[in-house]
Structure 1
Amino acid sequence: MNKLLTKYIYSLPSQWGWSDQWDSLFRIFVLILIIGLLTWLVRIIANLIIKKPLTRIVEKSRFHWDDIALKTGVFRNTVNLIPALFLWNMMFIALPDASESRLVVQKAVSLWILVVFARILISVIDALHAMYNRRSSAAQHPIKGVLQAVKIVILVAIGLIGIAIITGNPISGVLGGLGALSAVIMLIFKDPILGLVSGFQLAANDMVSIGDWIEVPAYGADGDVIDIGLQTVTVQNWDKTYSTIPVSALLSGTFKNWRGMTHAGGRRIKRSIPLNMNSIRYLTNDEIRELEDIHILKPYLKQRKDEILKWNKLNNIDEENDARVNGRHMTNIGVFRAYVGFYLKSHPSVRQDMTLLVRQLEPGPKGLPLEIYVFSNDLNWGNFENIQSDIFDHLLASLSHFGLKVFQEPTGLDFAELR
């Protein structure tokens, strides 16, 4: 039938009395038009017979891999290969051998098949990436950068094959011609190559994973890592903005990764209360008796009183008549420091198996800092801030029971009271 159709089309110009030149052009135009229409029909039929039934089967299937393949376009791109192959076969049947028109069409169809094949490979890689991301270890070991590098290699290979098809030269000849442009090519692909190497180093050393909280001051980034690509790492900051950081910058610069906090299960509280040094003094016996009403302090005060009494008697210290600096006595800041420690050890939101310190820092112009260094057992930011605030609310309100005052720089009201 194809031969009869071709013979009929070739006879039309002679029946109409056209010249040989117009005769040849007409034949080629009509044949290409018919082949194009047939290819379009084959594409529609392939979608009706293969793509749509396959889509319904996948939607009813209980497997996940076929859903991913459908979503990433593996089936769609594979079906698109059918009309391309049909066009390739029709070209050999309809167009005359060794004609210039056949050579041009042959190159165009070859490029089309090459592009469709490249799209199939890219969609397969996307499907493999989506399947890998379903694994629990995908966040700790992302492969997006590696797959992007594979895509670049595929596209470069397809591009070289395409150039070979257009020029009619073998691939070895194309590669030889590109050798002279190697410096330019290296300059063009410098960032992808550098990003690929840096990505391998990040993955090998397990420095950054998706979901990590990192701080990169040089790029104003402070938030969670949401994507690790071939060249960039994307961070969603706490204010919901996004920062894009070159992968190589994480290796050449410095950054802080808070992953250890998440794995340890404790978030650090490190804050100090500046105490007015003028309020620091020895405690009287009456004040000590009043402080014994605080339940968590009572055993401590009894132990300290016995210890101090024994030491003073051993060293012939008269507690009533000698200067207080000659013997050992309890101070309000020392008892308060002990109270803070007992309070934190009994707090339900403080990790008892991690570092717990109550310490004095170096005195300065702004008083004596009493630092609290503990870890909360709740990593949620909002809950953590509430726990921290509750602890310091209580401690600040308790200072007056120990005769201590917070250091505060004078305000306008303070100066007004001096008049």
Structure 2
Amino acid sequence: MQSLLQWWQSLHEAAAWEWISDVVTLTGISAIAWTVWHVLVGRLKALAEKTITRWDDILWPAIDTPLSVLIWLWPASHSLEIVIDNTLGNVSLSWLTLVQDLVVIWVIIWVLLRLVNSGEQVMIEASKRDHTTINTLGNVLRALFVCAGALSLLKSLGVSVSGLLTVGGVGGLIVGFAAKDLLSNFFGGVMIYFDRPFKVGDWVRSPDRNIEGTVEKIGIRMTVLRTFDLRPLYVPNSVFSNVVVENPSRMLNRRIYETIGLRYQDADKMSAVIDDVYAMLEAHPDIETRQTLIVNFNSFGPHSLDFFIYTFTKTVNWQRYHRVKQDVLLQVIGIIHQHGADIALPTRTLHMDSSLMAQGADAMVPPPEAQAR
């Protein structure tokens, strides 16, 4: 105990506690810098709230806390260096420089991650893009920043990053061969996010495969569809790289294509019926007249004179489309009946020669001898 007191007294006499003023000065500078930074950020946030864009609103909140922490930690590290140098004497302080580098790297990664989180939230609130895509891009950016930060930290610690990348490359090649299906599904998902052939909520189908339904989720490995009989359908993402995908949800209009047959005895009324049907479609409020609109006599059927209707509706909603189509067909029936015509039924007409019928009737009359008997 006596030796400890003697050591403390000798230390006090040697250092003369002159370094205390340096520590207090650095602490005071930190406090002043933090106060100025806090006031400056408050003003900048107020100015950002007055602008139309939302991206400046996420910048200052993202860097506020990390830089505030850095303002305190950086001078504190120098204060710690002064304290150790004046109390412990000749002690290596290289580790303190390493800690300072690690703090800077950590703060930079912290700022980047906060920026990604804030930007992701802004894009989701704007509802301009698919939430699944936004979350996935956010996860990818976070993973990239964390990996970059980890490599920087390892390099600061003296670990050979090039050797690590070489080992990782060989290991990645081995893993790639072992899990090629998993990787193909992953990159298939990445291509879906970049090409955007569909998004959550779209109705998609593939003419090449028995795939049809509404997209519920786009995952890293597979996409979940809900079929029209409400069964879940799990499709690996790699499938979409090898098949044709049709997205009816992005159609501009829906098509009405119907063939209607009149009776042969209504041939003289065909032209008037076609003209009135065409005029009806042009005046119909739910028919898109800027698209192709055709009403023409088409063919001589086995039991009818056929004309066809080729037009498009303004709506793409499935239920609304069928209501519009029903209204159009009912009006076509009304036009046909207005002209005294009718829709043909599958019938067959038998024509018989009158001379043959007379010969047949004579053949059925018995001779006089047969009549006498």
Q: Is the 8 A contact 1:361 1:371 kept in 2?
A: no
State how 1:218-297 maps to structure 2 within 5 Å: 220-222=212-214, 249-258=239-248, 261-262=251-252, 267-272=253-258, 280-283=263-266
Counterpart in 2 of 1:77?
66
Q: CA–CA distance in 2 between the matches of 1:81 and 1:381?
A: 58
Unmatched runs of 5 consecutive residues or more in structure 1: 1-10, 18-34, 284-328, 409-419
Q: Is the 8 A contact 1:91 1:102 kept in 2?
A: no
Letter in 1 for 2:332: L
**Code of the aligned partner of 1:77:** P
Q: Alpha-carbon deviation of 1:343?
A: 1.9
- Looking at structure 2, the residues matched to 213 and 270 of structure 1 have their Cα atoms a distance apart, in angstroms, of 22
How far apart, CA to CA, are the structure 2 residues paired with 1:84 and 1:93? 14
For 1:29, the equivalent position in structure 2 comes to none
Q: Percent identity?
A: 15
Kindly tell me: are residues 180 and 351 of structure 1, through their superposed partners in 2, closer, same or farther at Cα, counting changes over 3 Å?
A: closer
Q: Which has the higher contact order (CA 8 A, sep 6+)?
A: 1
Match of 2:149 in 1: 158
Count of residues in correspondence between the two structures? 309
Structure label with greater radius of gyration: 2
Give the AA of the match of 2:41: L
**C-alpha deviations, 1:75-123, integer Å up to 9, x for none?**
33343433443454344334458979984x8767755543332122234
**1:111–1:165 Cα contact (<8 Å) kept:** yes
Shift of 1:330: 2.0
Deviations 1:191-233 (A, max 9, x none): 697258736972xxxx64879955145664447x9x9998888
Say whether residues 1:198 and 2:154 are aligned partners.
Answer: no
Please report how far the alpha carbon of residue 344 of structure 1 lies from its aligned counterpart in structure 2 after TM superposition.
1.3
Return the alpha-carbon distance in structure 1 between the equivalents of residues 90 and 243 of structure 2. 61
Amino acid at match of 2:165: L
Deviation at 1:154, TM superposition (A): 3.0
1:347 maps to which of 263, 267, 284: 284
What's the CA shift for 1:152?
A: 3.8
Give 1:58's match in structure 2, choosing from 27, 45, 59.
45
CA distance in 2 between counterparts of 1:177 and 1:280 reads 81
Identify if the C-alpha distance between structure 1 residues 237 and 77 changes in structure 2 by more than 3 Å, giving closer, same or farther.
Answer: farther
Contact 2:44–2:60 (CA under 8 A) maintained in structure 1: no
Query: AA paired with 1:194?
Result: F
How many Å separate the matches in 2 of 1:335 and 1:374?
19
User: Whole-Å Cα distance in 2 between the matches of residues 242 and 109 of structure 1?
Assistant: 53
Match for residue 171 of structure 2 among 177, 181, 184? 181
8 Å CA contact 1:87–1:109 kept in 2: the answer is no
Aligned counterpart in structure 2 of residue 171 of structure 1, from 161, 167, 176: 161
Note if contact 1:149-1:196 (Cα within 8 Å) is conserved in structure 2. Answer: no
1:153 maps to a residue whose letter is L
Q: Which amino acid aligns with 2:258?
A: S
TM-score by length of 2: 0.55
Aligned alpha-carbon RMSD (Å) = 5.9
Task: Deviation per CA, 1:270-301: give whole Å up to 9, x if none.
Answer: 253776xxx72303xxxxxxxxxxxxxxxxxx
* Partner SS for 2:204: strand
Residue matched to 1:395:
332
Q: Is the 8 A contact 1:216 1:255 kept in 2?
A: yes
Unaligned 5+ runs, structure 2: 8-22, 347-373
User: 2:190, 2:220 within 8 Å by CA — same for their partners in 1?
Assistant: no
* Aligned residue type for 2:291: M
Q: What is the Cα deviation at residue 386 of structure 1? A: 4.5
**1:330 — aligned with what?**
268
For the Cα contact (< 8 Å) 2:203–2:247, is it kept in 1?
Answer: yes
Q: Distance in 1 between matches of 2:3 and 2:320?
A: 86
